[in-house]
Amino acid sequence: MDDDLPELGELEREVMQIVWAHVPITAESVRERLGRPLKESTVRTVLRRLEEKGFVTHDVDGRTFLFRPILDRRRVAANAVQRIAKWFCDGSIEDVLVGIVDTKMLSKNQLEILSKKIALAKDRRK
C-alpha cells in the first residue's frame, strides 16, 4: 500500500470522483459537473495539483487537455482506510472492518456479497 500517498482535500475528492466517472475529461467538463460554481481556472489549478500529487495525468488533443486518473478509485479508498486504521485502531484493518459490521453499516445481503468478493480476491492471490 502507498503509505506516502498524499491526502485529498474536499474539492480534490469531488474532482477525482468526476474524473473517475468520465474518462477522459476536460477541465471545463469537470467544472460543469461540480456541484458548486467555480471558474475554469480554479478547476485547472485543482487538476494540476492532482497531477502533481500523482492522482491524474493528461494528454493533449490540439489545445485541449484531457485528464485521466493514474490511481484506481479502490486503491485510493484502501489507502484512506489504512490511514484511518492507523489513526484510530493502531493500524488494525480488522478492527475497522469489525466496527463497520458492529455498527450495521452493511446489510446482511451486503455482507454476503462482500464475503464472496473476498473469497474471489483471496483465490486471485494464490
The per-residue pLDDT for range 3-32, each reduced to its tens digit, is: 568 889 999 999 999 999 999 999 999 999
Q: Mean pLDDT over residues 86-105, rounded?
A: 94
What is the chain's length?
A: 126
Q: Is the pLDDT higher at 126 or at 22? A: 22
Residue spans of the domains in the chain: they are 1-91
Q: Mean pLDDT over residues 65-75, rounded?
A: 95
Residue 65 has pLDDT above 80, yes or no: yes
| CB 56 within 8 Å of CB 68 | yes
The grid coordinates listed for 81 are: 482506510
Architecture field, domain 1-91 = Orthogonal Bundle (1.10)
